[in-house]
Amino acid sequence: MISPRYAREIPQRYRLEAGRCTVCNAIYFPPRLICPNCKSKSFEEIKLNEEGTLLTFTIIRVGSEKFSKEVPYAVGIIELKDGVRLTAQLADCAVDKVEIGAKVKLVFRKIQEEGKWGLHCYGYKAILI
């Protein structure tokens, strides 16, 4: 049962909420309690930009159990416009269309479901724009 963990991660998975250090302006996603850069404990909550660039990617051809029906699909590292890097699955595209440097946008999608009876778990994926 992943409900409690799923609920805790909602601000990041649903709304891309990050923490910006009010001293050195470094942005952390997910947010941190102490800034590794300047050791400040003072953060403001920000929402990340939804657009970015695909820095690198891999093609999953043998997926784990919950993703096995979606293969082949790409998972990439994306640098958003505000400089934050995150990992996301690429949706709505044939894997041969994915290229390093592609412009992408984060969209709200179902990430996985806990079998036929459990929760639908939502979050962000990326699409090519």
- Site residues, another protein (CB under 8 A): 10, 14-15, 47, 69-70, 91-94, 107-111, 115-116, 120, 122, 125, 127
Measured CA to CA, the distance from residue 52 to residue 30 in angstroms comes to 17
Do 93 and 104 form a contact (C-beta atoms < 8 A)?
no
Measured CA to CA, the distance from residue 72 to residue 108 in angstroms comes to 20
Measured CA to CA, the distance from residue 102 to residue 114 in angstroms comes to 32
The 8-class DSSP code of residue 107 comes to E
Alpha-carbon distances of 71 from 76, 95, 121, rounded to whole Å = 15, 10, 19
Identify which of residues 66 and 85 has a Cβ nearer to another protein in the complex.
66
Burial label for 3, CB within 10 Å (0-12, 13-18, 19+), is: exposed
Q: How far is the CB of 24 from another protein (least distance, A)?
A: 26
